[in-house]
Chain A
């Protein structure tokens, strides 16, 4: 597919912009983290669109954000596990 550009994104309705970004980010994340790709992509989509576009163009910045997201996700899950089982 052709690369996603800022102008393409701006032309899309707001509701579609995150979806477009997610469709591009997901395969890149899935290649490295097949089990967590859906959750990681969901987390990253909360970031600004301009930053997400930059991440699509720069694998290094994507990977550093993915690593950050995994750390946050694991901390979040660890917190859940500490809750008493009632």
Chain B
């Protein structure tokens, strides 16, 4: 994909489950 993703990068906040986890394949 060539489009920009305005939601990237998934921001990390201490104590909050990181949203980027759902994008990571096991």
Residue numbers of A with Cβ under 8 A of B are 14-15, 18-19, 22-23, 25-27, 37-39, 41-43, 45-46, 73, 76, 79-80, 83
Q: Is the CB of A73 within 8 A of B12?
A: no
Q: Is the CB of A79 within 8 A of B4?
A: yes
Neighbouring B residues of A22 by C-beta, 8 Å: 12, 14, 18
- A-B residue pair count with CB separations less than 8 angstroms: 48
Main secondary structure of the interface of B (DSSP, over half): loop
Residue numbers of B with Cβ under 8 A of A are 4, 6, 8-15, 17-18, 20-21, 24, 26
Q: Is the CB of A38 within 8 A of B26?
A: no
Q: Is the CB of B9 within 8 A of A18?
A: no
